[in-house]
Amino acid sequence: MSDEADRVRDEFLAESQEIVESLSRDLLLLDHGQKHGRADPDLVNSVFRGVHTLKGIAGMFGYRELSEIAHVLEDLLDHLRLGRVQLAQSSLDVLFEGVEVLQRLLGAIRGEVHEVDIASFRRSATALFGATAAPVTDPLAAYDLDPSMLGVLTEYEEHRLRTNAEMRVPLYRLRVRFALSSIDTDLDGLKSRLKPVAEIITYLPSVESSGDDTIELEVLLASATPLSDLRQLVGDAPIDAIATRDRPSRTMPPPPAGSGGGMVAPSVAPPAMRTGEGEGRDLAPRDAGAEAIAVRAVAKTVRVDISKLDHLMNVIGELGIVRSAVGRVLDRLGARSDLRPITAELHRIHRSFERHLEALQDGVLDVRMVPLGQTFDRLARAVRQVAREHEKEVRLVVNGGDTEIDKLIVEELIDPLLHLIRNAVGHGIESRDQRARIGKDPTGIIALNAYQKGNHVVIEVEDDGAGIDAQRVLARAVERKLLDIQSARDLDDQEIKQLVFLPGFSTADEVTDLSGRGVGLDVVRTNIGRLGGVIDLHSTTGIGTKFTLTLPITLAILSALVMRVGNHTFAIPLTVVQEALFLDPNAIRVVDGREMITLRGQSLPVVRLAELFRTGDPPRQRGYVVVTSLGQRRLGIVVDALEGQQDIVTKALGPSLASVRGFAGATDLGDQRVVLVLDAPSLLDEVLSADTRVASSSSHDLARGGPS
């Protein structure tokens, strides 16, 4: 495939992914509204338009299956928006299934391996099209409507008008004049004022009353709001209620199926459905102003391949190395009294270079940042699907969706978070009957919380389910021979619960699509560790479980502490360094075979880097303790000397050394030295994790790439 073909395909995939994510958000809002009896019809129309767009671009680029699935979804959504199919949980299930199929097909185009059951989705969708309703009385016959206006309504506009008439929502005719030069903004302003209390059915130009520089529109709207309140919103524009009349009604074709119980007019929609992605939308067929605004918004944004940003970050990293090298040269020149004028000038230039380099670095990092809310939206769809598979009622609560993190980290977070979510629904949340017996609300709650903590982002996945039964975990670990009985006796309650992170551990009694295969939380912890993060677990039986993920904001450029052990130099990210202090050999004590010191009244385990990596350097009496902290874990690393702080760009070690644990990569310090960058999460896991005590691995396995 040529470079141009690759570029076009990547553009298509990026555009399609945005559409699918938008569809997912709108469907979640529809699901919430349907459960509360108040679904916004504009959202159905919005989803319809999104699917229609996806169908068009998929067909244009030759992705036949993607276009066909979008076409099936478009047909279903057309039936929904015209009331031929009722908006219910069954139809929403099919819509969510369709979005999942679209997501899998996009993954297949990227080269990912996915099982896509297209035939099953087609059967589910077409099964909803079969029901038709018997003819009933036309509700529009009771209103004194202008036949000329009815004659130009689109099928969707007529459906919305009839739906409001069936619900006996008052209809109004509004005449408003706009200047042609500002019609876009003025019309959008009117719609934004009316949208919370009224549904605009249509608006048509009144040619007779228009001038050279003005245009008058006749607006048909439905609202349960009193006419006096509507007058305040429209100002001086004339607005009149459409009178009802008594005359024999006529028989009409089948009306909207389920229009009385599916969608309702926005005039009675709850405030909760007016926030977030759905806020301010009005996708009426003649919404020229909104289309113009959308075009302007697109013109202000540029889609950039993440690999290009990676290249820029590498260049900035190299410039950082140059900056450090120039700084060292300046320090040497400072000793020459005859060069002081030139040295002073070079110092000013160097400081200016530093400021601009920092601004450039911050700018590129800011471009790489994306809000976690995009990821949480995808998880919300999974919560709904898994909850329905297990016949449970689960509500997802999201806090901190605007917290930003590096795009590359977000992409790798999807699978670990999805696994935690599925575990929470499948194993954590009890069934409705069980929750009722113990006095809990029948609807379980899963909370996703995100917030920034220093140079890290913390993500919490918390449920109010049954919690983790420590004794059951211990029994299963012994049964699977993951530890012996003697080791089991030495573990406290918290350490027992940490056994769920052991490879091969599972409490499931039978194999299902969700569990029982022995591939579980150990994979989650491994994947989080690869991102430079850690995962902590806290669980209370009968109350619930909380997993806490602590991750760096970015992996692109790091500030590191450079330290020396004998003749070996290492770097460790400053994001995990809490402090550094002199080592007092007399302060070290041994507890259960592990060296400890007391720091501000608390015990701190320490590890000698020379012994851990077997560098062969003789132990020294004096040195430093670098206190590292990640999540709830702290560890003191004993080194011989500290060389200072430096910004680094971490380079991968390559395929041949990829299996070596304990090192995140290597970096060039700018003085012709290449040093290893320590992987702090691996070190903390190696020294502090419960599986170090129950498994038979030794510390030198870390340096050899052995199991932890």
Give the length of the chain: 708
The answer on pLDDT for 532 being more than 80 is no
> Among 165-179, 321-335, 480-494, 589-603, where is mean pLDDT lowest?
480-494
Give me the mean pLDDT over the 540-564 stretch: 85
Give me the mean pLDDT over the 415-435 stretch: 88
User: Interior CA angle at 422 toward 420 and 428, to 5°?
Assistant: 80
The pLDDT assigned to 557 comes to 72
Q: Which of 540, 547, 626, 646 is nearest to 583 (CA)?
A: 626
pLDDT-derived band at 209, boundaries 50, 70, 90: low
> b/e string for 239-275 if b means 16 or more Cβ within 10 A?
beebeeeeeeeeeeeebbbbbeebbbbbbebeeebbe
The pLDDT assigned to 658 comes to 67
pLDDT-derived band at 147, boundaries 50, 70, 90: low
Contact at 8 Å (CB) between 173 and 220?
Answer: yes
The pLDDT assigned to 626 comes to 92
Coarse DSSP helix, strand, coil percentages of the chain, rounded to the nearest 5 percent: 50, 20, 30
Q: pTM for the whole thing?
A: 0.61
The pLDDT assigned to 471 comes to 83
The answer on pLDDT for 698 being more than 70 is no
pLDDT-derived band at 516, boundaries 50, 70, 90: very low
The answer on pLDDT for 104 being more than 80 is yes
The pLDDT assigned to 7 comes to 75
Q: For residue range 229-272, what is the model confidence (pLDDT) as tens digits?
A: 888 888 777 777 777 655 443 333 444 443 333 443 333 333 33
pLDDT-derived band at 274, boundaries 50, 70, 90: very low
Give me the mean pLDDT over the 521-530 stretch: 81
pLDDT-derived band at 703, boundaries 50, 70, 90: very low
3-class secondary structure, 566: coil
227 membership: H or E segment, kind and range: helix 227-234
Give me the mean pLDDT over the 123-138 stretch: 63
